[in-house]
Amino acid sequence: MVVSRASGTSGGGGYPSPNHGPRKDGLLPSLVVLHFTDMPSAAEARARLCDPEAAVSAHWLIAEDGTTEQLVDEARRAWHAGAGEWRGQSDINSRSIGIELANPGNRPYPEPQMAALEGLLRAIMSRWDIPPEGVIAHSDMAPGRKVDPGARFDWRRLALQGLSVWPEVGTGAEQGDPAAFLSHARAFGYPEAAPAKILHSFRLRFRPWGQGEVGAEDAGLAEGLARRYGSS
């Protein structure tokens, strides 16, 4: 159930969180950043995201049962991403729409919640002309600082519906050169960070079962992503 929908206005929109401001330099959303709330319940997360003293927010909150509420007008700059970069661009808050999924960080994402997310993503991507590669994890843009939405989130499910991206398979690129992993990960979009942090963030999204040093499979997946979606 959607409690409130995007207004498409440039003002506050009457939504419950006071934690927002204007997008800087006339920027419009080109990214969607997915988060988990890391709190026991959606109600507690909502209270924090609407608390002026907390100074955090997101545009949307999706509860475990699929209940979806808009907290900040999409035209406004919500305070969800924090420090980080993607594809060489900073101030992700001004460039993105933030979606919080109620999850303490250690549970699977329930079917009603995933279905609600899929519907919401379709609407947001259509409204703002955001391509599938523009749907990213909080951990993608802030390696080493953030881990959400975590290893239990089903990115491939989204990609199969054109709501995100997944490395191509069956192209011979599954096994790559580990020495080239970092350059390919950065070409896909990951920021400058310690190699171990990049590998951890990459695996959270694309290979959560991976362990140890970067391997040929990590490198092959990164190469496939860089070739198809790379910024350089």
**How many angstroms separate the CA atoms of 36 and 104, rounded?**
7
Cβ 100 vs Cβ 62: under 8 Å? yes
Q: Is residue 173 a part of any domain in this protein?
A: no
pLDDT at 110 over 50: yes
3 falls in which pLDDT band (50, 70, 90)? Answer: low
Note whether 116 and 24 are same-domain residues: yes
Helices (H), 142-180: 155-160
Q: Is residue 166 a part of any domain in this protein?
A: no
User: Structural domain of residue 197, as residue ranges?
Assistant: 178-229
Note whether 193 and 120 are same-domain residues: no
Note whether 200 and 155 are same-domain residues: no
pLDDT digits (tens, 9 = 90+) for 18-39: 999 999 999 999 999 999 999 9
Note whether 119 and 214 are same-domain residues: no
**How many angstroms separate the CA atoms of 153 and 33, rounded?**
13
What pLDDT, on a 0 to 100 scale, did the predictor assign at position 2?
Answer: 54
Q: What is the CATH number of the domain that holds 100?
A: 3.40.80.10
Q: Is residue 50 a part of any domain in this protein?
A: yes
Strand order in the sheet with 68-70: 68-70, 60-62, 96-101, 31-36, 135-137
Indicate the SS3 state at residue 103: coil
Q: Is residue 206 a part of any domain in this protein?
A: yes
Q: Is residue 215 a part of any domain in this protein?
A: yes
Question: Of all helices (H) and strands (E), which one includes residue 126?
Answer: helix 111-128
Note whether 218 and 132 are same-domain residues: no
Task: Give exposure, 48-82, as e/b (b: 16+ Cβ within 10 Å).
Answer: bbbeeeeebbbbbbbbbebbbbbbbbbbbbbbbbe
10 falls in which pLDDT band (50, 70, 90)? Answer: very low
Question: Of all helices (H) and strands (E), which one includes residue 195?
Answer: helix 195-206
**How many angstroms separate the CA atoms of 40 and 45, rounded?**
8
**How many angstroms separate the CA atoms of 75 and 21, rounded?**
9
pLDDT at 6 over 50: no
Question: Of all helices (H) and strands (E), which one includes residue 196?
Answer: helix 195-206
Please confirm, yes or no, whether 100 is among the known catalytic residues.
Answer: yes
Does residue 149 have a cis peptide bond before it, meaning omega lies within 30 degrees of 0?
yes
Instruction: Report the domain count for the chain.
Output: 2
What pLDDT, on a 0 to 100 scale, did the predictor assign at position 168?
Answer: 78
What pLDDT, on a 0 to 100 scale, did the predictor assign at position 14?
Answer: 87
Note whether 33 and 123 are same-domain residues: yes
Please count the residues of the chain.
232
Annotated catalytic residue, options 100, 213, 217, 223: 100
Q: Is residue 214 a part of any domain in this protein?
A: yes
Cβ 81 vs Cβ 96: under 8 Å? yes
Note whether 96 and 143 are same-domain residues: yes
**How many angstroms separate the CA atoms of 154 and 107, rounded?**
12
Note whether 112 and 68 are same-domain residues: yes
Q: Is residue 32 a part of any domain in this protein?
A: yes
Read off the pTM: 0.94
Q: Is residue 192 a part of any domain in this protein?
A: yes
Note whether 76 and 139 are same-domain residues: yes
230 falls in which pLDDT band (50, 70, 90)? Answer: confident
Percent of the chain at pLDDT above 70?
A: 91
